Amino acid sequence: MIEFPRRFYKDDTFPFLWHYVLDVKGTEHRQILEIGSGKGDFLCQYAQKFPENRILGVEWDTYCAKTTAKKLQKLKLENAMVIRGDLFYFLRDLMPANSVDEVHMYFPDPWPKRRHQKKRLLLQEGFLELICKVLKPGARPFYWATDHKEYNTLALQSFRNFPKAKILEENTAQPTCGIETGFEKKYKKEGREIFRSVIELRAES
> Is residue 143 within 8 Å of residue 168, measured between CB atoms?
no
The enclosing H or E element of 168 equals strand 165-169
Which of these is catalytic: 41, 86, 93, 109? 109
Q: Which residues contact 126 (CB under 8 A, 6 or more apart)?
A: none
- Nearest residue to 107 via CA among 116, 120, 90: 120
Complete DSSP assignment for 95-123: SPTT-BSEEEEES-----SGGGGGG-GGG
CA pair distance 134, 136, nearest whole angstrom: 7
Our measurement of the distance from residue 36's CA atom to the centroid of its chain's CA atoms, rounded to an integer in Å, reads 8
Q: Decide if 109 is catalytic.
A: yes
**First and final CA of the chain: distance in angstroms?**
26
Q: Provide the annotated active-site residues.
A: 109
